[in-house]
């Protein structure tokens, strides 16, 4: 037996011992470990080498486009085929990864109430379409691990009290203390469900159509390991663990971020790393910043965590013209050690989360941000606190409309403000995730909100491919301008070693109206000073504040212009960004 295989068996068993400590399970942890390892098709012959610790499976070339499988549709072919054609036509030279949001049969929440994890939604395409996309792009898929649809076969069996799934779901009795539970919804936590064995109270963190799994049952864990193996076989290389923070429950606690949840992630990382070493796990934990960072573990949990505090802080910066809070947050962020990184984004299929701004913006500042977004057509989703009080949970708005003005109102600088947001995000430490409706500068979709009665639909437009191509062919439309300018920025980014996700980052002190940071490549050969005017008036950058080395030549990578050091300062136009580098590689 190889040392690597022996270590794998011992490590998986240790994870299981921690997970099921104090829980009665039908098999020993050793037996469960062997079963999980077999499911991943790992054996003494194939397992010859242990994963190299602290290894980065990413570079400055990695950009992930976030999209639904049907964000772009055509009358003549399946949406996944249309998506693949769009990617190849418009972004193949600048974007190398794609996150296709849940592409499985579902009953609600635009895919996040999964009916069947093992098949592709027929309205989108099939597994061959998924495999085709994964052959050209790094494919990121959701593992909707906390809950599934109440219309799934598993939940049907739960109701019948027989067959696979009959014991998969978390239920409680009247003695279970739920008074401290933290969750992002206002609906009742428990759903009374009539089963063959009587009424059972089923736990529903998000909605009554999304029923939570019971991970105290090893069969649930085994089912998800089998799902992971299937996704690997179809080309998935990035796993997004959806809503994973809520996975483990314990009476009398918040039922969020519990230690056994972290241990489940460690177990999944171990199995995935041995099965496909270049795969990575990203945890989706829309929670306060300090809690979010715990999902790195000691470089043994998530390879990457969503940088959830970035969207509210960056939008707040650009609508107030004051970068104080963004700068303070950036200075507080620990550098991600090798083997881990941040996943940066400023727009998504959901909204601008406000929980990650807790402790970073005070209540008055959050209220001002909410009011400003509402004045630009945004909507607000709420959550219920212990005791019944409601609090804003997220702002639902398209990013292009979120940045159409400032706290003073809408103005004519919306596109410059919008591009500035991306110039900042693309330069930060971490892997950029770019939402398709930001790439295309899609505005608020009120018709879709009316049709679905869901606030989040405001930023989930479905484009007709012919209409979209017509818009993109006209270089005066906001969609064409945004695509062209974003592609220009990405073409620059992917050639800069100083933009490696783990390259050094240092926050610059340039006052409240200029936001800046310095990046240095891992080999220390390239430096880039990233400076943005985050206001609606001109700002002066004083050369002595950034201390460029006089023996080097310096260029603004965005314009290609050389920076003349004998000038004492230079002017940035409203929302202008410069990437000042000692090497000009474009």
Catalytically active residues are 242
Residue 156 marked in a binding site: no
Residue 510 marked in a binding site: no
Residue-by-residue DSSP string for 220-275:
HHHHHHHHHHHHHHTTEEEEEEETGGGS---TTS--SS-HHHHHHHHHHHHHHHHH
8 A C-beta contact, residue 211 and residue 202: yes
Residue 456 marked in a binding site: yes
Q: Furthest-apart CA pair in the chain: how many Å?
A: 83
Residue 167 marked in a binding site: no
Q: For residues 54 and 493, give the distance between their C-alpha atoms in angstroms, rounded to a whole number.
A: 24
Residue 349 marked in a binding site: yes
Report angle CA 527, 533, 539 to the nearest 5 degrees.
110
8 A C-beta contact, residue 14 and residue 39: no
Residue 175 marked in a binding site: no
- Non-local (6+) Cβ contacts of 41 within 8 A are 229, 275
Judging by beta carbons within 10 Å of its beta carbon (0-12, 13-18, 19+), is residue 288 exposed, middle or buried? Answer: middle
First-to-last alpha carbon distance for the chain, in angstroms, is 50
Q: Which two tokens stand for residue 449?
A: 């909100």
Residue 461 marked in a binding site: no
8 A C-beta contact, residue 109 and residue 207: yes
| Tokens 């709420």 -> residue | 382
Phi-psi region of 218 (alpha: psi -120 to 50; beta: other; left: phi over 0): alpha
Which of helix, strand or coil describes residue 152? coil
* Phi and psi at residue 181, to the nearest 5°: -65, 135
Residue 266 marked in a binding site: no
- Residues at the binding site are 109, 147, 240-242, 349-350, 456
- Residues at the binding site for substrate are 109, 147, 240-242, 349-350, 456
């Amino acid at each position: 037996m190889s040392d690597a295989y022996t270590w794998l068996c011992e490590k998986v068993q240790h994870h299981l011992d921690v997970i099921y400590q104090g829980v009665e399970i039908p098999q020993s942890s050793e037996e469960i470990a062997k079963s999980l390892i077999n499911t991943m098709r790992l054996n003494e012959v194939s397992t010859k080498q242990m994963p190299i610790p602290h290894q980065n499976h990413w570079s400055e070339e990695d950009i992930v486009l976030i999209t639904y499988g049907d964000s772009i549709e055509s009358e003549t072919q399946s949406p996944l085929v249309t998506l693949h054609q769009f990617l190849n036509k418009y972004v193949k030279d600048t974007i190398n990864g794609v996150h296709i949001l849940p592409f499985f049969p579902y009953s609600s929440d635009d895919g996040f109430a999964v009916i069947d994890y093992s098949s592709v939604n027929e309205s989108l395409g099939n597994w061959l379409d998924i495999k085709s996309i994964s052959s050209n792009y790094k494919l990121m898929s959701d593992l909707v691990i906390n809950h599934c649809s109440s219309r799934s076969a598993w939940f049907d069996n739960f109701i019948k009290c027989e067959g696979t799934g009959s014991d998969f779901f978390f239920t409680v009795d009247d003695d279970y203390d739920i008074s401290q539970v933290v969750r992002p919804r206002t609906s009742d936590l428990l759903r009374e469900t009539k089963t063959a064995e009587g009424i059972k109270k089923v736990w529903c963190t998000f909605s009554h159509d999304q029923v939570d799994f019971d991970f105290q049952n090893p069969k649930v864990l085994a089912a998800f390991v089998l799902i992971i193996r299937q996704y690997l076989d179809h080309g998935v290389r990035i796993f997004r663990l959806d809503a994973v923070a809520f996975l483990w429950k314990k009476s009398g606690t918040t039922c969020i971020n519990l230690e056994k949840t972290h241990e489940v992630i460690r177990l999944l990382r171990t199995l995935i790393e041995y099965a496909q070493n270049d795969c990575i796990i990203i945890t989706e934990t829309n929670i306060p910043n300090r809690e979010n960072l715990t999902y790195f573990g000691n470089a043994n949990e998530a390879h990457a965590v969503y940088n959830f505090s970035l969207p509210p802080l960056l939008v707040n910066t650009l609508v107030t013209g004051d970068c104080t809070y963004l700068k303070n947050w950036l200075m507080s962020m620990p550098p991600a050690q090798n083997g881990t990184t941040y996943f940066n984004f400023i727009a998504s299929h959901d909204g601008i989360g406000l929980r990650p701004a807790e402790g970073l913006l005070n209540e008055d500042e959050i209220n001002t941000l909410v009011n400003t977004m509402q004045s630009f057509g945004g909507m607000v989703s709420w959550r219920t606190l212990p005791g019944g009080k409601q609090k804003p949970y997220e702002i639902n708005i398209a990013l292009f409309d979120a940045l159409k003005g400032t706290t003073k109102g809408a103005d004519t600088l919306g596109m410059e403000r919008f591009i500035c947001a991306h110039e900042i995000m693309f330069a930060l430490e971490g892997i950029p995730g770019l939402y398709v409706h930001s790439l295309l500068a899609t505005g608020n979709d009120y018709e879709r909100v009316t049709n679905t009665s869901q606030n989040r639909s405001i930023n989930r437009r479905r484009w007709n491919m012919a209409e979209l191509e017509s818009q993109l062919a006209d270089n005066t439309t906001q969609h064409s301008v945004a695509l062209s300018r974003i592609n220009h920025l990405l073409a620059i980014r992917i050639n800069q070693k100083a933009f490696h996700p783990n390259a050094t980052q240092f926050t610059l002190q340039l006052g409240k109206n200029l936001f800046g940071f310095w990046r240095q490549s891992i080999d220390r050969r390239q430096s880039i000073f990233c400076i943005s005017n985050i206001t609606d008036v001109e700002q002066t950058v004083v050369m002595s504040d950034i201390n460029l080395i006089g023996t080097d030549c310096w260029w603004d990578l965005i314009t290609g212009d050389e920076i003349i050091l004998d000038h004492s300062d230079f002017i940035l136009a409203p929302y202008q960004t410069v990437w000042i580098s000692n090497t000009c590689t474009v």
